[in-house]
Structure 1
Amino acid sequence: MSTPDTSYPQQVADYYAEHHGWIRAWLHRKLGNACDAADLAHEVFLRLLARPRRFDSDGHARAYLHGMSHHVCVDFWRRRQVEQAWLEVLASRPETFAPSEEYRAIVLEALQQVHAMLSRLPERVAEAFLLAQLQGLGYKAIGERLGVSERTVTKYMAQAMYQCLLLEAELDEALV
């Protein structure tokens, strides 16, 4: 990938004019909702602007945009899963303890970011982290459950905690 020149926004505008329609239609078929499809189609091009790319051909651009469309669709479904789980937790609580809409939005955003962080971790690392955090298991017990040494669990936890620190720094930066 070469460094983009100042004409890159115009190139993205050209890609948008040429490909937006089929991306929106593809997302509509996948999601069954025209409004969500339109939002996600725009997200594809926002991501393309954020991470400049050069394409060798129109076919290469189309293939890349199709892949990005698939990824934004998967991200959308993951966010919906997290949102649904949060709503179920709220529904199980007495109405007198219901948080404000602002608090709900903040918690939901944090949950989605934690979910995304866990999804980026290798499966065994995420599992070790969740066993420690949610079930309160010690490293020895986690190692026994996962069939690995305590030292390996320590490495897994270090990886997970590093990602937590990156997420915390990202959240702190967003608040400034």
Structure 2
Amino acid sequence: MPATAHPIADLYAEHHRWLRSWLRQKLGCSDHAADLAQDTFVRLLTQEQRGTPVEALRQPQAYLATVAHGLVVNHWRRLEIERAWLETLSSQPEPLAPSPEERTLLLEALCELDALLDRLNPKARSAFLMAQLEGLSYIEIAGHLGVSERMVKKYMAQAMLHCLQSGLAPA
């Protein structure tokens, strides 16, 4: 086989078919498997641009599977968010329903928010969501989480700082 100009091209040529097959088994859909296989190699290109050399991979299939698994989890999470969003929309009166463009933008924003909150400590995330979505007081949140009110204040400060640093200002 002739040498290619780029190590990722070699990796792609050697492992793309295997990765697509592996993803098809995980997802049960060859179209989604093909998309996520491509996304896996795009992720490798991005990582290489940030300084992670592909030549250093000792176990390329294990590495590809790890990257692809993360993309599968993100795919499932996005589908779950989309299902919940569509369910919420279906309960809205027609005049209040957003346009298709607004739906797409809102779904993207929900996915970004989910990813942002996923990077928080689980208790800080729970405290933030209970305060923002359920309107619970810090004392009520403390009871739910089994921590002190002071700890809830600390969790809320962490969550708000995290939101501000990411450019999202909580209400």
**Which of the residues 8, 15, 28 maps onto 2:11?**
15
Question: How many angstroms apart in 2 are the aligned matches of 1:95 and 1:67?
Answer: 43
Question: Is the contact between residue 89 and residue 97 of structure 2 (CA under 8 Å) also seen in structure 1?
Answer: yes
Separation (CA, whole Å) in 1 of partners of 2:61 and 2:69: 12
Tell whether the 8 Å contact from 2:40 to 2:68 is kept in structure 1 after alignment.
yes
Q: Aligned partners of 1:105 and 1:166: how far apart in 2? A: 25
Residue 40 (1) aligns with residue 39 (2): no
Cα distance in 2 for partners of 1:78, 1:84 equals 10
Q: Following the alignment from structure 1 to structure 2, what is the Cα–Cα distance between the partners of residues 82 and 16?
A: 31
Q: TM-score, normalised by structure 2?
A: 0.86
- Equivalent position amino acid for 1:47 in 2: R
- Whether 1:50 and 2:50 are equivalent positions in the alignment is no
Q: CA deviation at 1:40?
A: 0.5
For residues 157 and 47 of structure 1, the distance between their equivalents in structure 2, rounded to whole angstroms, comes to: 33
1:24 aligns to what?
20
Give the deviation of 1:103 after TM superposition.
0.3
Q: Which residue of 1 is the match for residue 167 of structure 2?
A: 168
Q: Deviations over 1:42-100 (max 9, x none)?
A: 11111111112336766522211110111100100000000010011111112232211
Counting only pairs closer than 5 Å after superposition, residues 49-88 of structure 1 correspond to structure 2 as 49-52=45-48, 53-54=52-53, 59-88=58-87
**Aligned residues of 2:78 and 2:111 also touching (Cα < 8 A):** yes
- SS state at 1:51 partner: helix
Which residue identity lines up with residue 33 of structure 1 in the other structure?
Answer: C
Please report the TM-score for the alignment, with normalisation by the length of structure 1. 0.84
Measured after TM superposition, the shift of residue 145 of structure 1 is: 2.1
CA RMSD of aligned residues (A): 1.8
Structure 2: any 5+ residue segments left out of the alignment?
A: none
**Take 2:41 and 2:69, find their aligned partners in 1: how far apart are those partners?**
13
Q: What is residue 107 of structure 1 aligned with on the other side? A: 106
Identity across matched positions, percent: 49
Tell me how far 1:144 sits from its aligned partner. Answer: 2.2
The aligned residue for residue 5 of structure 1 is none
Q: Quick one: distance in 2 between partners of 1:57 and 1:144?
A: 50
- Cα distance in 2 for partners of 1:145, 1:64 equals 39
More displaced 10-residue stretch of structure 1: 60-69 or 137-146? 137-146
Unaligned runs of 5+ residues in structure 1 are 1-8, 170-176
